[in-house]
């Protein structure tokens, strides 16, 4: 069984607010270990050095966009860490973008802004045991 607190996530987006929003969404789903990077170029080194369980990345970023990062990650010469499931996020969805993201190896594509339920559904499709949104504890209830 996959426990949310055992997953390690990476969020790559040039917009600080967007990174914080995605990280907050993942925390609401129970993830604890979330790295945030402001661009695709530094993400290349991070992904080679660290085994992430999931990567959320923006499609549009300056210098190196999400498509280029995905091409680098999915190249057979990249480390095995490049096979991590990727959720591409974009504020400008269209058929071509979604088709290209999927062709490059994105596991899921989410449109900004997205809800906790959308992120949970995407994770549910990617993880073998699915995903549930954690229930809010009732007042006075202790979680173990």
Q: Please report which helix (H) or strand (E) contains residue 10, including its range.
A: strand 8-12
**CA 93 to CA 109: how far, in whole Å?**
9
**For the domain with range 4-126, which CATH number is right: 3.65.10.10, 2.40.50.140, 3.40.50.2300, 2.40.160.10?**
3.40.50.2300
Q: Model's pTM, two decimal places?
A: 0.87
- Beta strands per DSSP E along 16-133: 33-37, 54-58, 86-90, 108-111
**CA 29 to CA 40: how far, in whole Å?**
24
Q: What are 87-134's pLDDT values in tens digits?
A: 999 998 899 999 999 999 999 999 999 999 999 999 888 876 655 555
Q: Is the dihedral of CA 30, 33, 37, 43 positive or negative?
A: negative
Q: What are 3-35's pLDDT values in tens digits?
A: 677 899 999 999 999 999 999 999 999 999 999
In the chain, where the domains are located: 4-126
């Amino acid at each position: 069984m996959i426990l949310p607190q055992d997953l390690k996530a990476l969020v790559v987006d040039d917009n600080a607010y967007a990174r914080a929003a995605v990280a907050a969404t993942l925390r609401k789903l129970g993830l604890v270990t979330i790295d945030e990077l402001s661009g695709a170029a530094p993400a290349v080194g991070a992904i080679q050095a660290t085994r992430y369980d999931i990567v959320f990345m923006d499609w549009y970023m300056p210098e190196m966009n999400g498509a280029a990062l995905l091409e680098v990650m999915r190249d057979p010469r990249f480390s095995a860490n490049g096979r991590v499931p990727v959720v591409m996020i974009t504020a400008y969805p269209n058929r071509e973008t979604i088709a290209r993201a999927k062709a490059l190896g994105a596991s899921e594509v989410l449109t900004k802004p997205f809800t906790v339920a959308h992120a949970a559904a995407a994770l549910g499709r990617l993880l073998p045991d699915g995903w549930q949104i954690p229930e809010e504890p009732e007042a006075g209830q202790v979680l173990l």
